[in-house]
């Protein structure tokens, strides 16, 4: 092969050969990148950073709490986010596709099948020292996996929702920007769009501000209603009414400002935020948010439009101890992983820079694990299917010189590793930088 | 000179797309590529006093990104296997593929047989399209040394391709289990 052909073929296999600056701007919004950078900058210098804490933005990606997601939902708006992020879906073309739908989804008899996960939570790029024996007695060790399906035709689905919710009009929009019936300005309206965080459909509903009884602007400064059970019941009834088969996990309730068209900036409403649950096991990243007026009626709702099957697939689960060990099993070349750390009072594990030029000992984050639960994470597989897959969620305390500096939170797939093919996404900052160019 | 914040913002805005392409070429998912770029700029912030002159910033950044990347990948071979499969999918997805599956497999196998340092040299030359001088700035050597290294690597790659042409062994394109 001559140089010319080599150059042409290298160009042909360039993974980003067709990626324009405009697409890059869409895929990686500048503000998101800056947020990550700023979070990293706020961390202490490398020598201390691994001791002090893990990057905030990584922890955020690991565990999106209901409160945080509620904020996203609250400001997410009506179709707006879908429009601005829809092009991110194009990135899926970059994904590896090691497992085909037929290989996995044929019988749903998943035992013995290796999954390849497209979207996984990045393991923390840091070194760990677990310096006390955690107790995992609360771990049940049992959770099924569920395949989630969404509506096949978003325009038909939004029309169906509109009919149920008495929203008049015809669906307008597109699959990329979302579909809507009615008008968000004053309502009523219902919309359906892709939630880019999980690549699943999400529906929004706004009740009419005027017209129907009880559907008025929320009262300013509402105190939190103590009858939260009524709100939860109403929310569940609403979901059942629109055909959702899932239940709500333990909700959080707030009385908070709720921007509503035609109601001014001071509107405030009772609000409920909860992840959905499958057979009583909460999910990590599928959130329902609803707001209620003073009569307890739903005035806004935002929820995943997915079908959750009644029964799931029972993948064999690894033990919580084994999962915990994998917290630090990545790139464990710097310090030898001690597989028996769980029973030891002090064991040092870690993964540091792989550079062969780096000979200095890595810094260590001291973590005391003190709890574990099991939750389900909506995950997109390489074959395009979406699943709720169980993960162990570990909590702990990050220590620095015997001083507590933060809360440790990370999750690990609970399914036996041999059934899951996860990409390596370990991140660690190098302590060294190349020397700047020297000019003669 | 602008203050540190302003100068840093300029550097991010100027070079983010080049670094994102660098990351996307070498990693198998966009989220990790974004992490790579963010981490690279964090290192830049911490070593702001080492900043070279403007026309050499990008190559210094590539050097930092390469070090961050080394922490991300267990081996370049894995990354190349992924890239190879992607390349195959893209190429064969064209109405009229310009190269045969065998040609690309041979190339990917030959690339995978190179050392990580050699792979990086080839990628910097053909994907980032850097000159000898610019490659030297990235890897920390002179223009002449950069040219010599790249020439040797090209020769090694051609030899591997010739061997591959003589005896084709299918590349394991399925993702390796971690």
Residues facing residue A256 across a β-bridge: A269
Interface test with A, best of B67, B126, B130 (most A CBs within 10 A): B67
Residues B68 and B42: beta-carbon distance below 8 Å: no
Model confidence, pTM? 0.47
Q: Whole-angstrom Cα distance, residue A10 to residue A139?
A: 50
Place of tokens 């939570």: A121
Q: A33 and B16 in contact (C-beta within 8 Å)?
A: yes
In the prediction, which pLDDT does A305 show?
96
Could you tell me which of A116, A125, A114 has the C-alpha nearest to residue A61?
A: A125
Start-to-end C-alpha separation, chain B: 48
Check A426 against B71: CB less than 8 A apart: yes
User: B86 contacts in A (CB within 8 Å)?
Assistant: 15, 94, 96
What does the alpha-carbon distance between residue A214 and residue A227 come to, in Å, rounded to a whole number? 18
Is the bond preceding residue A360 a cis peptide, omega within 30 degrees?
no
Please tell me the distance from the alpha carbon of residue A245 to that of residue A52, in angstroms, as a whole number. Answer: 43
Residues whose CB falls within 8 Å of the CB of residue A133, separated by 6 or more in sequence, listed in order? A342, A343, A344, A345
CA-to-CA distance for A361 and A375, rounded, in angstroms?
35
Residues 53-72 of A with CB under 8 A from B: 57-58, 61
To the nearest whole angstrom, how far is the Cα of A340 from the nearest Cα of chain B? 21
Q: CB A30 to CB B16 under 8 A?
A: yes
In 3D, which of A149, A147, A143 has the Cα closest to residue A314?
Answer: A143
Q: Which residues of B touch A95 (CB under 8 A)?
A: 28-29
With residue A195 as reference, give the H or E element that holds it. strand A189-195
Q: What is the pLDDT of residue B15?
A: 95
pLDDT of A203 reads: 93
Q: What's CA A436's distance to the chain center, in Å?
A: 39
Closest CA to A203 of A233, A232, A246: A246
Q: Residue A34: its chain B contacts at CB < 8 A?
A: 12
Give the ipTM. 0.78
The residue of B11, B38, B130 whose CB has the most chain A CBs within 10 angstroms, and thus the best one to mutate to test that interface, is B38
- B132 near A CB under 8 A: no
Look at residues A260, A337, A319 and name the one whose alpha carbon lies nearest to residue A137: A319
Residue in chain A closest to B61 (alpha carbons) equals: A434
Q: Cβ atoms within 10 A of the Cβ of B69, count?
A: 26
A3 touches chain B (CB under 8 A): yes
State how far residue A261 is from chain B, nearest Cα, in angstroms.
Answer: 35
Q: Are the beta carbons of A193 and A172 closer than 8 angstroms?
A: no
Mutating which of A434, A435, A438 best tests the B interface, going by the most B Cβ atoms within 10 A?
A434
Short-list A362, A440, A54, A425, CA closest to B79: A425
| pLDDT value, residue B71 | 65
Give the DSSP H/E element, type plus range, for residue B38.
Answer: helix B30-46
Give how far the C-alpha of residue A200 lies from the chain's centroid of Cα atoms, to the nearest Å. Answer: 12
Q: Work out the minimum CA distance from B167 to partner chain A, whole angstroms.
A: 15
**pLDDT tens for the 440 residues of chain A, in order:** 677 888 888 887 787 877 788 888 888 888 888 988 888 887 654 432 222 222 222 222 222 222 222 222 222 222 222 222 222 222 211 122 222 222 222 222 222 233 333 222 223 334 455 544 445 554 445 688 898 999 989 999 999 999 999 999 999 887 777 898 987 666 688 999 888 777 889 999 988 765 443 445 555 445 566 678 888 999 999 999 999 999 999 888 877 666 555 554 445 677 888 889 998 899 888 889 888 877 788 888 999 999 999 888 888 888 887 777 766 543 322 222 222 222 222 222 222 332 333 333 334 556 677 778 888 988 887 777 888 988 888 777 766 555 545 666 677 788 887 777 654 433 334 445 555 544 43
Question: Which residues of chain A neighbour B46 with C-beta distances below 8 Å?
Answer: 41, 45-46
Quick one: which of B50, B34, B32 has its CA closest to A435?
B50
* Pairwise CA distance, residues B142 & B134, whole Å: 9
Q: What is the DSSP letter of B110?
A: H
Neighbours of B91 (CB within 10 A): 18
Cβ burial, residue B6 (10 Å; 0-12/13-18/19+): exposed
- Residue A32: name the closest of B92, B25, B52, B34 by CA: B34
178 residues of chain B, pLDDT tens digit each: 558 888 899 999 999 999 999 988 887 667 778 888 998 998 888 888 888 888 889 998 998 888 788 766 643 444 444 455 555 555 555 555 566 767 777 887 888 788 777 888 899 999 999 988 888 888 878 888 888 888 888 888 888 887 766 554 433 322 222 2
Q: Do A9 and B104 touch (CB under 8 A)?
A: yes
Question: Are the beta carbons of A390 and A416 closer than 8 angstroms?
Answer: no
């Amino acid at each position: 092969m001559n140089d010319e052909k080599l150059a042409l073929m290298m160009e042909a296999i360039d993974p980003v050969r067709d990626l324009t600056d405009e697409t890059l701007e869409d895929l990686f919004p500048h503000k998101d990148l800056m947020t990550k950078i700023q979070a990293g900058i706020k961390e202490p210098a490398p020598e201390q950073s691994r001791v002090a804490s893990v990057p905030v933005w990584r922890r955020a990606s690991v565990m999106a709490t209901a409160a945080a997601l509620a904020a996203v939902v609250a400001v997410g708006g009506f179709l707006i986010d879908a429009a601005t992020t829809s092009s991110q879906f194009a990135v899926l073309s970059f994904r590896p596709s090691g497992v085909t739908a037929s290989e996995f989804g044929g019988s749903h008899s998943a035992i013995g099948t290796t999954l390849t996960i497209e979207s996984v939570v990045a393991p923390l790029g840091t070194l760990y020292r677990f310096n006390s024996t955690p107790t995992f007695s609360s771990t049940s060790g049992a959770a099924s996996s569920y395949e989630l399906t969404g509506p096949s035709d978003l325009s038909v689905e939004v029309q169906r929702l509109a009919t149920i919710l008495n929203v008049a009009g015809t669906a307008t929009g597109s699959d990329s920007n979302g579909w809507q019936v009615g008008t968000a300005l004053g309502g009523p309206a219902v919309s359906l769009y892709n939630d880019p965080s999980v690549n699943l459909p999400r529906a929004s509903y706004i009740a009419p501000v005027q017209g129907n009884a009880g559907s008025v602007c929320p009262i300013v400064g509402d105190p939190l209603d103590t009858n939260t059970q009524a709100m939860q019941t109403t929310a569940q009834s609403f979901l059942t009414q629109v055909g959702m088969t899932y239940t709500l996990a333990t909700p959080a309730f707030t009385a908070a400002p709720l921007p509503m068209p035609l109601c001014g900036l001071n509107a405030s409403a009772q609000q409920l935020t909860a992840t959905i649950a499958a057979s009583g096991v909460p999910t990590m990243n599928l959130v329902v948010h609803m707001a209620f007026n003073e009569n307890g009626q739903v005035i806004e709702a935002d929820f995943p439009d997915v079908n959750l099957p009644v029964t799931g697939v029972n993948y064999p689960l690894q033990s919580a101890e084994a999962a915990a060990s994998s917290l630090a099993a990545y790139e464990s070349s710097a310090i030898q992983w001690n597989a028996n750390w769980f029973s030891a009072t002090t064991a040092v594990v870690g993964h540091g820079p792989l550079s062969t030029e780096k000979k200095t000992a890595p810094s260590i984050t001291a973590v005391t694990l003190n709890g574990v639960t099991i939750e389900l994470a909506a995950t997109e597989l390489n074959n395009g299917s979406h699943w709720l897959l169980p993960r162990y969620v570990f909590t702990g305390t990050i220590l620095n010189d015997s001083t507590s500096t933060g809360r440790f939170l990370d999750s690990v797939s609970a399914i036996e590793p041999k059934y899951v093919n996860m990409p390596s996404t370990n991140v660690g900052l190098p302590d060294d930088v190349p020397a700047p160019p020297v000019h003669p | 000179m602008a203050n540190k914040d302003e100068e840093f913002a300029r550097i991010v805005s100027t070079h983010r797309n080049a670094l994102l392409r660098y990351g996307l070429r070498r990693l198998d998912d966009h989220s990790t590529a974004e992490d790579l770029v963010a981490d690279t700029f964090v290192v830049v912030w911490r070593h702001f006093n080492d900043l070279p002159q403007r026309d050499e910033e990008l190559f210094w950044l590539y050097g930092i990104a390469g070090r961050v990347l080394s922490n991300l990948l267990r081996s370049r071979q894995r990354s190349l296997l992924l890239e190879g499969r992607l390349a195959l999918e893209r190429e064969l997805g064209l109405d009229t593929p310009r190269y045969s599956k065998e040609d690309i497999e041979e190339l990917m196998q030959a690339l995978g047989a190179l050392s990580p340092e050699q792979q990086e040299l080839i990628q910097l030359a053909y994907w980032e399209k850097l000159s000898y001088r610019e490659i030297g700035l990235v890897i920390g050597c002179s223009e002449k040394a950069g040219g010599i290294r790249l020439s040797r690597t090209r020769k090694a790659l051609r030899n591997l391709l010739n061997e591959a042409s003589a005896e084709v062994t299918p590349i394991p394109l399925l993702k390796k289990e971690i």
